[in-house]
């Protein structure tokens, strides 16, 4: 059965034919109404629902509802969103935009906002079903051009789900003429040292025709580097490092995940930069085929990592964190004394938010070190890539 003939109705974004009926059900859902009333003045809710019921397709939903919402979010929670490398984008092609993962919700949303500002078509977005904790969230994201990545399945079911997911991505690129966004790994890199999961590369190569490299070339992998000046979740990550240090079996609760999503969404992120890089097809041709898929996936992952690391936007906080971590003044020329003092105050005020009892001075020092590592790693990885392994 070809990718075109498979039934993707359980994972794909909702077709425009059923958009209106799904929207009608969504605006009556108590959970959705609670969320809307939480995020906007109650007097504005009836008008929003009225507007939503006038929309009957994903394009209008994104441009009439999501675009102004994301612009409002960008204005209130960032110091500006920028997009570089547009010259590498060819409107005649569809891409798999593969990015590092910084924010659970906003990585893809803000990238699509940057695209809408430039009249570049938005991409379909891969979202893990672990985040879809309520049915209304599933409906909302599928109305907003997202498709579902099924996780936490058994081994056999997992392989079938991966094959179907890969077939769908190839189908979206080749048959639907849609681009796709996917993160380079499942979950965010807690220490901000971004690495592509080889299993993700192998999943992408399950669909399509020809050799391993041919299957990847037909979906036009374009690495995109995401840089946030501030990570609102930095203190929550530092807390998680501490909890795991105290108890290696520590696992975050669903409530923790929801709070992380809310914090990332609503708190200040400073400057946000997206850097498009050339699609990797030419480099895939240069490295050629390997005898096994594991080696192929490893080399492809390295190509993606190098493109992302090389293209980070480095902010003063990254230079300061590096110097603080390594007790050096190597990058003192990249920031002022005032910026250094402000940044040290920022780190301490973030750690003050950690709600753990009986934190010792040594444990606070540990959390500070982990926070410095988070902010220093993008700079360290960029230096390694540019200087060929030298630091």
Q: Residue 265 pLDDT > 50, yes or no?
A: yes
- Which of the listed ranges 189-198, 243-252, 341-350 does the model predict with the highest average pLDDT? 341-350
* Residue range 244-269: mean pLDDT, rounded: 90
What's the CATH code, domain 16-230+270-310?
3.40.1130
* Residue range 172-177: mean pLDDT, rounded: 96
Cα–Cα distance, 99 to 271 (Å, whole number): 17
Cα–Cα distance, 165 to 387 (Å, whole number): 37
Do residues 304 and 221 touch, judged by C-beta distance below 8 A?
A: yes
The percent of residues above 90 in pLDDT, for the chain, comes to 82
pLDDT tens figures, 330-383: 999 999 999 999 999 999 999 999 999 999 999 999 999 999 999 999 999 999
pLDDT tens figures, 92-144: 999 999 999 998 889 999 999 999 999 999 999 999 998 888 899 999 999 99
Q: Lowest-pLDDT range, 56-60, 123-127, 175-179, 183-187?
A: 183-187
pLDDT grade, residue 1 (50/70/90)? Answer: low
The residue ranges of every structural domain in the chain are: 16-230+270-310, 232-267+315-391
Q: What is the per-residue pLDDT for 4? A: 66
Q: Residue 390 pLDDT > 50, yes or no?
A: no
Q: What is the per-residue pLDDT for 318? A: 98
Q: What is the per-residue pLDDT for 190? A: 82
pLDDT grade, residue 3 (50/70/90)? Answer: low
pLDDT tens figures, 280-317: 999 999 999 999 999 999 999 999 999 999 999 999 99
Do residues 3 and 167 touch, judged by C-beta distance below 8 A?
A: yes
* Residue range 228-239: mean pLDDT, rounded: 96
pLDDT grade, residue 2 (50/70/90)? Answer: low
* Residue range 243-267: mean pLDDT, rounded: 90
Mean pLDDT of the chain: 94
3-state secondary structure the chain: CCCCCCCCCCCCCCCHHHHHHHHHHHCCCHHHHHHHHHHCCHHHHHHHHHHHHCCCCHHHHHHHHHHHHHHHHHHHHCCCEEEECHHHCCCCCCCEEEECCCCCCHHHHHHHHHHHHCCCCCCEEEEEHHHCCCHHHHHHHHHCCEEEECCCCCHHHHHHHHHHHHHHHHHHHHCCCCCEEEECCCCCCCCCCCCCCHHHHHHHCCCCCCCHHHHHHCCCEEEEEEEECCCCCHHHHHHHHHHHHHCCCCCCCHHHHHHHHHHHHHCCCCCEEEEECCCCHHHHHHHCCCCCHHHHHHHHHHHHHHHHHHCCCCCHHHHHHHHHHHCCCCCHHHCCHHHHHHHHHHHHHHHCCCCCCCCCHHHHHHHHHHHHHHHHHHHHHHHHHHCCCCC
Q: What is the per-residue pLDDT for 132? A: 87
Q: What is the per-residue pLDDT for 245? A: 95
pLDDT tens figures, 66-95: 999 999 999 999 999 999 999 999 999 999
Better-scored residue on pLDDT, 315 or 254: 315
* Residue range 256-270: mean pLDDT, rounded: 90
């Amino acid at each position: 059965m070809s990718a075109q003939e498979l039934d993707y109705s359980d994972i794909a974004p909702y077709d425009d034919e059923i958009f209106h009926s799904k929207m009608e059900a969504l605006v009556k859902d108590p959970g959705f109404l609670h969320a809307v009333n939480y995020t906007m003045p109650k007097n504005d809710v009836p008008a929003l629902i009225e507007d939503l019921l006038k929309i009957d397709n994903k394009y209008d939903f994104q441009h009439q509802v999501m675009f102004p919402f994301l612009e409002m979010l960008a204005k209130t929670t960032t110091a500006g969103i920028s997009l570089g490398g547009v010259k590498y984008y060819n409107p005649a092609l569809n891409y798999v935009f593969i990015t590092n993962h910084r924010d659970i919700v906003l990585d893809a949303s803000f990238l699509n906002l940057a695209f809408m500002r430039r009249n570049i078509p938005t991409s379909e977005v891969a979202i893990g079903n672990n985040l879809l904790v309520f049915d209304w969230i599933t409906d909302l994201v599928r109305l907003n051009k997202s498709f579902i990545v099924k996780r936490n399945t058994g081994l056999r079911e997992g392989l079938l789900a991966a094959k179907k997911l890969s077939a769908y991505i190839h189908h979206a690129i080749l048959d639907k003429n849609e681009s796709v966004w996917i993160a380079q790994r499942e979950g965010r890199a807690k220490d901000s040292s971004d690495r592509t999961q080889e299993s993700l590369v192998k999943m992408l190569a399950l669909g399509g025709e020809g050799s391993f490299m041919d299957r990847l070339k037909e979906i036009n992998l374009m690495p995109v580097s995401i840089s946030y000046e501030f990570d609102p979740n930095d203190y929550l990550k530092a807390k998680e490092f501490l909890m795991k240090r105290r108890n290696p079996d520590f696992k975050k609760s669903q409530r923790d995940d929801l709070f992380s999503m809310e914090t990332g969404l609503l708190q200040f992120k400073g400057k946000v930069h997206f850097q498009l890089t050339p699609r990797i097809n030419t480099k895939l041709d240069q490295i050629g085929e390997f005898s096994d898929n594991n080696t192929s996936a490893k080399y492809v992952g390295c190509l993606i990592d190098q493109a992302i690391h090389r293209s980070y936007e480095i902010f003063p906080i990254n230079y300061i964190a590096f110097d603080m971590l390594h007790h050096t003044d190597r990058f003192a020329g990249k920031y002022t004394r005032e910026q250094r003092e402000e940044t040290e105050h920022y780190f301490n005020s973030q750690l003050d938010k950690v709600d753990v009892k009986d934190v010792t001075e040594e444990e606070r020092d540990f959390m500070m070190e982990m926070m410095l590592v988070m902010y220093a790693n993008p700079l360290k990885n960029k230096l390694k890539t540019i200087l060929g392994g030298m630091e």
